[in-house]
Amino acid sequence: MGIIFERKINYYETDRMGVVHHSNYIRFLEEARCYWLEQAKMPFSCLEENGITIPVLAVSCTYKYHVTFEDVIQIYCSMKQYNGVRITMQYEVKNKKTGELVLLAETKHCFTNKNLKPINLKKHAPEFSEKFEKMLEESKE
């Protein structure tokens, strides 16, 4: 399952050159990932209520073009890999008006309990694991 998350660029997210500062894209990816989980009926709050956290292990971004204040971006977010212990998400960011590719990115995460000890979701919370497995299947179709 992939989703498209849309957001308008705020003035404070730009730098002295008038373009979005590169560090803000990490926030945009997280917003898209949170939205993806909400659409999957597994918001972060629900996962955390069940003792599950999903810390970031790695972020990889390739910047293709810039966006500026008041541009609207569309972030296509989907799952690339899932094995019960780790999950990899992929993102494609485009300028809504021009369709131009702005950024390609990937984030890697693991599942942990509240004490940040790694867990296997297949054993710890099979109902969530089944949802992730189904979404991975759908993203490959």
Please check the confidence at residue 140 and state whether its pLDDT lies above 80.
no
Domains assigned to the chain:
2-140 (3.10.129.10)
Nearest to residue 9, comparing CAs of 67, 65, 62? 67
Please check the confidence at residue 138 and state whether its pLDDT lies above 90.
no
Q: How confident is the model at residue 24 (pLDDT cuts 50, 70, 90)?
A: very high
Can you give the pTM of this predicted structure? 0.93
Q: What one-letter code names the amino acid at 85?
A: V
C-alpha to C-alpha distance for 64 and 134, rounded to whole angstroms = 31
C-alpha to C-alpha distance for 72 and 95, rounded to whole angstroms = 6
- Quick: pLDDT tens for 53-88: 999 999 999 999 999 999 999 999 999 999 999 999
Query: How far, in Å, are 27, 44, 114 from residue 133 at the CA level?
Result: 26, 17, 23
C-alpha to C-alpha distance for 106 and 80, rounded to whole angstroms = 9
Q: How confident is the model at residue 13 (pLDDT cuts 50, 70, 90)?
A: very high
Query: How far, in Å, are 44, 64, 75, 77, 116 from residue 100 at the CA level?
Result: 31, 9, 12, 16, 39
